[in-house]
Amino acid sequence: MEQNRQTPAHVGSGSILLIFTVLSLISFSALTMVNSKADYNLSYKLAGRQVAYYNACHQGNAFVAAVNSGYTQGEENGIIKKSIPITDNQSLNITLMSNFSKNTDNSNNSYMITGWKIVNYENDGYDYTLPVYTGG
């Protein structure tokens, strides 16, 4: 009465599947954390850039208001220029020209804005560096 018992091939498959599932979840959660940190860093940098830009715009608006109130320092041939720094590599350049046609429009401004633009001082302001571990 000898019974020939063979063990089925799928005895440890449940454990292997469980280990694979846990490793997959750990890997995906680590990737999600890394991606979330990168998104946070980018959002933080963009928020700082936006604050700097709007501060420069506020200074520019104050400059335009001062010029229209009678401030004419630095005027050449009816044109006043001002450069307001935003970052180390960018500035807001404002150009105002004397408003000779002030009788034809409904504005009381003595100067009109002819230029309001962001100027980059470097050709490429993007950060292409990658934090790669080189061993040590």
Q: Please list, in sequence order, all residues whose beta carbon lies within 8 angstroms of the beta carbon of residue 100, skipping any fewer than 6 positions away.
A: 78
Residue 127 has what DSSP assignment?
Answer: -
The pLDDT of residue 107: 60
Structure tokens at 74: 């630095």
Best-predicted range by mean pLDDT (3-17, 51-65, 76-90, 97-111): 51-65
User: For the chain, give me the number of helices (H) and strands (E)?
Assistant: 1, 3
Q: Where are the domains of the chain?
A: 14-120
Strands 111-120, 90-98: pairing is antiparallel
What is the value of pTM for the model shown? 0.65
Split at pLDDT 50, 70, 90, the class of 85 is very high
